[in-house]
Amino acid sequence: MRGVSRAHSYELLQERPVLLLESVEGQSLSEFVGRPVD
């Protein structure tokens, strides 16, 4: 499905969980709304 990324791996970085996703073309949510999204 277009616009849906796949998970490549789950890792711990500095004791924090990180989900690594494939790169998907398009615009980030921050760019779309025009401000940082926390």
Q: How far is CA 37 from the centre of its chain?
A: 12
Residue 7's pLDDT is 87
Task: Sketch the domain layout of the chain as residue ranges.
Answer: 1-28
List all residues 6 or more positions away from 21 whose beta carbon is below 8 Å from its beta carbon.
Answer: 5, 6, 7, 8
What's the pLDDT at 4?
67
- Say if residue 2's pLDDT is above 70: no
pLDDT score of 5: 77
Task: Report pLDDT digits (tens) over 11-35.
Answer: 999 999 998 888 777 777 788 889 9
